[in-house]
Amino acid sequence: GAVVSQHPSRVICKSGTSVKIECRSLDFQATTMFWYRQFPKQSLMLMATSNEGSKATYEQGVEKDKFLINHASLTLSTLTVTSAHPEDSSFYICSAPPAGGYEAFFGQGTRLTVV
Amino acid sequence: AQSVSQHNHHVILSEAASLELGCNYSYGGTVNLFWYVQYPGQHLQLLLKYFSGDPLVKGIKGFEAEFIKSKFSFNLRKPSVQWSDTAEYFCAVNAGQAGTALIFGKGTTLSVSS
């Protein structure tokens, strides 16, 4: 199956700093990628849809100025958590469907801890 | 908007017991349906998926699910669980068009005792 790689897998940062998370489709092109957030023992909540060459679409309640998304190429989307606070600590997961595909493939996830 | 309901929050079974986890979705159009498993400390793994055709789909590790359109349901089953099936199970749905986001249910925690 298709492979989505997410980096880093874990990151600890100080409150007030910014953190960038990368999501790459390794063997296919993805015009669309999705970013999810998962709190401990909870489900995955869709944060935003990343679109190659255009602005991301954010779900209701997600601050677009805090969670900056850039879909620079057909194989790379980045999520930057700006001015991170402890409440931003969570598990962030990206997924991508191959162009024209119905099934999305998931990255390994990034555990963000803000101290 | 789509939504997914998983009615069982936590299921506790003994090894060899049969499993059925409920999943209902709310969406008026064509949907694709998925079950994912998340083992402790690991990332999501696809168990099975339904796009069209035979409503009874078989997945990995002996799991199967049945799509009942009239009930908007996609329940997950396994005849005989093992201790290694202890995990979190998520039902998910997306609209029938290509490239749409998955919407997840809240998940069901399965605990299997040996």
Mean pLDDT of chain A: 93
Chain A residues with CB inside 8 Å of B59's CB? none
Phi and psi, residue B83, nearest 5°: -55, -35
Helix (H) or strand (E) run with residue A80 in it: strand A76-81
Give how far Cα A28 sits from Cα of A5, A96, A104, B114, Å. Answer: 12, 9, 12, 42
Query: How crowded is residue A48: how many other Cβ atoms within 10 Å of its Cβ?
Result: 23
Phi and psi at residue B95, in whole multiples of 5°? -65, 160
CA of A39: which chain B residue's CA is closest? B106
What is the rounded average pLDDT of the residues A73-89? 96
Specify the residue for token string 């679109």: A51
Distances (CA, A) of B72 to A55, A72, B22, B93, B109: 34, 38, 11, 11, 22
The confidence score (pLDDT) of residue B79 equals: 97
pLDDT tens for residues B27-62? 878 899 999 999 988 888 999 999 999 999 999 999
Which of B88, B99, B103 shows the shortest C-beta gap to A97?
B99
What is the number of CB-based contacts under 8 A between chain A and chain B? 52
How far is it, in rounded angstroms, from Cα B104 to Cα B36? 9
Terminal Cα distance for chain B, rounded: 41
Cβ-based contacts of A104 with chain B (< 8 Å): 94, 101-102
Q: Which of A60, A103, A105 to substitute to test the interface with B, most B CBs within 10 Å?
A: A103
pLDDT, mean of residues A54-80 = 95
CB neighbour list of residue A77: distance below 8 Å, 6 or more residues apart: A22, A23, A30, A33, A35, A50, A52, A69, A70, A71, A94, A96
What span, in angstroms and rounded, lies between the C-alpha atoms of A101 and A28?
Answer: 11
pLDDT at B86 over 80: yes
